[in-house]
Chain A
Amino acid sequence: MADGSLETSRWVALAVSGDRSAFARLIGLHERRSLATAFAVVGCAATAADVVQDAMLRAWQRIHELQDPERFASWLSRIVRNLAIDTLRRSPRAAASMERLSLVPVHDPDAAEQSELADRLNGALAELDATTRLAVTLRYFDNLSSAQIGDMVGLSGAAIDMRLSRARGVLRKKLSCLLPAEPPALADTVMHRGVM
């Protein structure tokens, strides 16, 4: 399935011819997805950002190798993912240490709250398998549909829905202390809809 829009294809064609501003536009179009992909692998926002920056430079150097402009998103995601995996292999503890270094000052209550959320969320995400973690970050950071995520990871949209559903169960349990209250039971919800 082609994953590119007409807009992407147009910018790719210009970028292949050496147009830097066109490639900068492509970066803007695909940066969220790339960040989500890298973050799912390395588990650290700062490291993920570095990975994405390196990946974009590498993609620019290799864009002439791209056979089908409509596959730009998949092609770029592969570069990001491979680079993120390489980064993790080279220094598996770098991600964790960098995350600790990037913690905001505790004197700022809002910032401290953000830090706690980040810590707990990242810890909960680490409990998921790699593919499910990628699906969660792509869904909740880049707002991708299950079909789009499935196309990226080689699964069907239904399979992604199942993984997301299971992931939500795990995350709800892990993050329960940050959630306001338990949601109503599924049976109650269905009955309520039926009555309506």
Chain B
Amino acid sequence: MKERLKTDSPPPLEPHGSAAAGDPLDALLRRGLSEQLDMHIGRAAERFLAESDRPALTAPSGSAMRLWWAVPLLAAAAVVAMFAAPVFRAAQSSPADPSIASQRATNPGHLPSHGADASLTQVRYEPTEVGGAVKWADQYEGMVWLDDETPAQKIRRHRLETLEWTDPLDSSRIQITLPREEIVLVSSPKL
């Protein structure tokens, strides 16, 4: 009898609750979950059958996947070009750019040596190199509809842009890093 008492440990929970079928807690847990979730059974299949014939929801092929990967790369390239061009122009045409002037003022040893009267306002900053780097992380936020017939994938993109200039006269460098966030909607072709 003692042997049996020792080995007769509390019954483990069985997959179908057979060992604890009489426990009111089990019945309560099953009922509480069923009452909330049972009403949703079948809806996923209904929605899938209703929406899966739309072009945006057909199982993508390999070529489609290749195009998909190209989207963020092209977008990133466009962003770099868009951002770098005006800054580059501004740097060339604005000799008294306050941000550049202040950068130099903090580092007077790197002031250009040409011209004894080279005051800060007269320094002409002529970058010889413009480099840019972009880092981004995409967060997929599901499907949205642009109109009744145009589905689109919604992507939130966190981007970190770094732009750099080098002065040919004193080899000083200026680097700007800008955090940005944007929503990208990638529409799918209509039928």
A residues sitting closer than 8 Å to B (CB atoms) are 16, 18, 20, 23-24, 27-28, 31-32, 34-36, 39, 45-46, 48-49, 52-54, 56-57, 60-64, 86, 90, 114, 117-118, 120-122, 136-137, 139-141, 143-146, 148, 161, 164-165, 168, 171-172, 175, 178-181, 183, 186, 189-191, 193-194
Contact = CB atoms under 8 A, between A and B. Distances in A.
Q: Residue among B17, B36, B39 with the most chain A CB within 10 A?
A: B36
18 contacts: A23-B52, A24-B49, A34-B44, A39-B36, A53-B47, A57-B57, A86-B140, A86-B141, A117-B31, A121-B32, A121-B33, A122-B36, A140-B33, A145-B15, A146-B13, A165-B13, A171-B25, A189-B10
Contacts, number: 145
A31 B139 CA distance: 25
Interface size class of B (residues with CB under 8 A): 35 or more
Interface in B9-48: 10, 12-17, 23-26, 28-37, 39-45, 47-48
B26 A140 contact: yes
Given A118-B35, A186-B10, A144 B48 contact: no
Q: Residue among B24, B33, B39, B42 with the most chain A CB within 10 A?
A: B33
A181 B22 CA distance: 13
B67 interface: no
Contacts of B35: 114, 117-118
Given A20-B52, A48-B40, A194-B5, A86 B139 contact: yes
